[in-house]
């Protein structure tokens, strides 16, 4: 089966892409990330992938290549219970509307969205409503990192969106069975960049910890990607 091409928004250090690619059914074509430290990580692990530096300029100053899937965990700071609750129209979490703009320009087969579980009561209605206005139906669930073997809870909502009138069928039990648990041997990367690394006289430890804290857990993304693949294969067989 030909891999589904992926465009990643708010890529961070590539947790979404890594999880999807671990299924063997996805290929990353482009990424968008504004943070200089995260860009260095992406450049190391996806050297041949096109990168955009500013989502607000995508489709305005640069053409966006078509992809089968657009994924992204838009900023959660204005939605998270740890924040001020400014909401989905605030400066940072309001970047959802830029993600939606890119989706409308590209018209991918699928849209994968991630955010904190607080989105359920702080903007999910607007996310789903705006996707519906754009011609996409959606299904969603909260997946804690602990459910895929992590030593912390880290509950996150994942949304799978697809064109209306298209039925989604994913075998969750089978998808979970394909996910490697959090074992050292299951990770293809060495720690990068190392916490003790120094650049321009400053340790990268703070940047690294911040990037890891914002990252999507790859095993969770892998589960979502496997559900999507199982659904597409079921659809193709019918």
Output 165 or 195, whichever has higher pLDDT. Answer: 165
pLDDT score, position 193: 40
Quick one: pLDDT at residue 206? 84
Q: Which of these is catalytic: 76, 81, 142, 187?
A: 76
Residue 185 in this model has a pLDDT that exceeds 60: no
124: which 2 tokens? 């999910």
Residue 128 has pLDDT above 50, yes or no: yes
What local confidence, expressed as pLDDT, does residue 95 receive?
Answer: 98
Tell me, yes or no, if 76 is annotated catalytic.
Answer: yes
pLDDT of residue 181: 57
Looking at residues 39-68, what average pLDDT do you find? Answer: 96
Buried-state track 192-206, b at ≥16 Cβ within 10 A, e below 16: ebeeeeeeeeeebee
């Amino acid at each position: 089966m030909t891999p589904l091409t992926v465009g990643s928004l708010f890529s961070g250090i590539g947790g979404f892409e890594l999880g999807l690619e671990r299924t063997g059914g996805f290929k990353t074509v482009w990424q968008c990330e504004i943070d200089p430290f995260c860009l260095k990580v992406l450049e190391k692990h996806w050297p041949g992938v096109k990168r955009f530096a500013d989502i607000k300029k995508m489709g305005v100053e640069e053409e966006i290549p078509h992809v089968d899937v657009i994924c992204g965990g838009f900023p959660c700071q204005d939605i998270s219970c740890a924040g001020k609750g400014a909401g989905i129209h605030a400066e940072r979490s309001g970047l959802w509307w830029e993600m939606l703009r890119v989706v409308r320009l590209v018209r991918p087969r699928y849209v994968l969205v991630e955010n904190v579980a607080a989105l359920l009561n702080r903007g999910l209605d607007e996310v789903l409503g705006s996707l519906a206005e754009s011609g996409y139906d959606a299904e969603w669930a909260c997946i804690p990192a602990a459910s895929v073997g992590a030593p912390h809870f880290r509950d996150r909502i994942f949304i799978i969106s697809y064109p209306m009138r298209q039925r989604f069928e994913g075998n969750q039990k089978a998808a979970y069975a394909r996910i490697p648990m959090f074992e050292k041997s299951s990770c293809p990367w060495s720690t990068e960049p190392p916490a003790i690394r120094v650049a321009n006289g400053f340790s990268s430890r703070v940047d690294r910890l911040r990037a890891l804290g914002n990252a999507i857990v790859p095993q969770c993304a892998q589960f979502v990607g496997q559900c999507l693949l199982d659904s597409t294969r079921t659809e193709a067989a019918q």
